[in-house]
Amino acid sequence: MSRLSVWFVRASFLYLLAGLFFGGLMLAQKGIPFYAPALHLLPLHMEFLLVGWLIQLAFGVAFWIIPRFSNGSARGPVRLVWLSFAFLNAGILIAALQYWFPSAFAVGRAAEVGAALLFILGSWQRVKPQGA
Amino acid sequence: MPLLTRVFIKTGMICLALALALGVLLAFGVTNGLFPVYIHLLVFGWLTQLIFGVIFWMFPKYSAERPRGSETLGWLTYVSLNLGLLLRAIAEPLQSTQPNSFSGWTLVVSALLQFLAGLAFVLNSWKRVRER
């Protein structure tokens, strides 16, 4: 597994844990109310699990597994994909601040769009037949 | 494909079918706390469970002696995930229509089990995510 995939996948594991923790707090609050503001964790729960866990894991595994080039950089423009990693995680963390700063939601989402575009640019040509 | 992976994937497929069947009920306007069950059957019972099974099978080997890490942690992940989800599927509709301490505490146990599933998975998989 490449170093960048290790970062993507391990980061996705951390978001899985955080997302499940927040989800657990909300579910427990529904069962035996102990702290009403726990229900405000819903946007974080969704952001961490959908973007932080599922999408980030997909980026990491795709970067590891899709066909490599036989000439030049085996995994193509790796710096673009590192930048995608930075944008994705900055976007998730900025979007997580939306409870305190409502505009952070849009800024974080915009960074996530940037991350997706960078990932697509960095990977597009690797989606090819083996050996091509 | 190892036994645990087969069990993860087949249980995930059952969750997928159940979720989509529940989606039909929701389309007919039956709610009663079923929407969160529908979403979690899809995202946790199907997508996440499928991912857990495939990662257990295909990620880099932990060691020559224990290629897939701890089988015990793997099975703990499976049991916690599915028991947690099952308890949620029973208790959440009950709690939303006729709240009582039984369904309330069942939701708390479900929350703990679902978090435990994620924790056991991450503990077992973390060291298999590494550079080669």
At A52-75, the pLDDT tens digits run 999 999 999 999 999 998 888 989
Is the residue at A15 inside a domain? yes
Q: Which of B115, B124, B128 to mutate to test the interface with A (most CBs of A within 10 A)?
A: B115
Q: What residue numbers bound the domain in which A16 lies?
A: 3-126
What's residue B2's pLDDT?
96
CB contact under 8 A, B106 and A54: no
DSSP letter at A126?
A: G
The count of structural domains within chain A is: 1
Q: Which residues of A touch B130 (CB under 8 A)?
A: 1, 6
CB contact under 8 A, B130 and A1: yes
Is the residue at A132 inside a domain? no
At B7-35, the pLDDT tens digits run 999 999 999 999 999 999 999 988 888 99
What's residue A130's pLDDT?
74
Is the residue at A75 inside a domain? yes
How many contiguous H segments (helices) and E segments (strands) does chain B have? 5, 0
Q: Which residues of B touch A21 (CB under 8 A)?
A: 115
Tokens for A15, please give them: 């978001």
Residue the block writes with tokens 């706390």: B33
Is the residue at A78 inside a domain? yes
Indicate whether this complex's ipTM tops 0.90.
yes
Q: What residue numbers bound the domain in which B14 lies?
A: 3-128
Distance CA A21, CA A16 (A): 8
Is the residue at A131 inside a domain? no
